[in-house]
Amino acid sequence: MAPGKVLGAMLGLAVGLLIGGPLAIVLLIISGLVVGHLVDELNLLPSGTPENLPKPDTRSPQELAAQDHFARHLCALFIEVARADGDVVRDEVRVVREYFEDRLKYGPEALGLVRRYLKEHIARPPSLEHAAAACRDELSTAERLLLLDALYGLALVDGNLHRAEQDTLRRVSQGLGLSEEEFRSVTARHFGDGQVHYARLGLTPEASDADVKRAFRQLAATHHPDRVANLGKGAVEQASRRFQEIREAYEEILRLRGR
């Protein structure tokens, strides 16, 4: 029986017993059932009924662990990048929280971990080399590229990339074990120029056709959304956008070369 009807019947019974008489009890129970039905139909019961309870977290332990690692490492490296041009400010902390919530689709429980990691790293700034080494050891190449791309976006929150931030990002890239071509490819996504299509593949216009094909195949395989599926829907969406940009850059280079 629906919760509203149960509550209505119980109230009707209680009032009927107070008034006395079998007929009064029966009539009040029926009235309670009718009112309870209307309450159920109008969804007037307070939150906490089965319909309003939060849906259980259906992520596997492996997915939860992967997201936890990614959050911890990204928060550590973000703090280092943010500190490159001075103290970490409130807007920067807000932006990294929004990044996890809006871009990576982290729920309330995972966002609680993000807040905890940010507080810990602000109080005791981690070693950039240590945080980058942990990422290199625990994350795949696709996940490390996704992390570097996120750090670029966060560093550009004020519209400018200071020299100290740029140097820090390069140190992060090296600590992550990424190649110079991979670093240039991520950089080009945020700083396009007339050669943006080549830069997105980590190349220059002087690259041979074989170099272009090799770079495309390598980047397409590395950035395939399936490689970050364990980080959740938000990471897959971000990787899909990156994958599409790489494909479009390759197709544009082929068009420019008459292929």
Tell me the one-letter amino acid at 185: S
Higher pLDDT, 54 or 187: 187
Q: Which residues pair with 49 in a beta bridge?
A: 47
The torsion region of residue 101 among left (phi > 0), alpha (psi -120 to 50) and beta comes to alpha
pLDDT confidence band for 192 (50 / 70 / 90) = low
Say whether pLDDT at 178 is over 90. Answer: yes
179 contacts: CB under 8 Å, gap ≥ 6: 202
User: Region 76-97: what's the mean pLDDT?
Assistant: 80
Q: Which two tokens stand for residue 179?
A: 């190649």
The one-character DSSP state at 49 is: B
76 contacts: CB under 8 Å, gap ≥ 6: 117, 121, 126, 131, 134
Determine the pLDDT at residue 28.
44
| CA atoms within 13 A of residue 99's CA, in its CB half-sphere | 25
Determine the pLDDT at residue 259.
65
Q: What is the pLDDT of residues 60-81, one digit of tens each?
A: 788 778 778 778 888 888 888 8
pLDDT confidence band for 191 (50 / 70 / 90) = low
Say whether pLDDT at 252 is over 80. Answer: yes
Torsion of CA 224, 152, 64, 110, to 10 degrees: -140
**How many percent of the chain have pLDDT more than 70?**
73
- Average pLDDT in the chain: 76
pLDDT confidence band for 16 (50 / 70 / 90) = very low
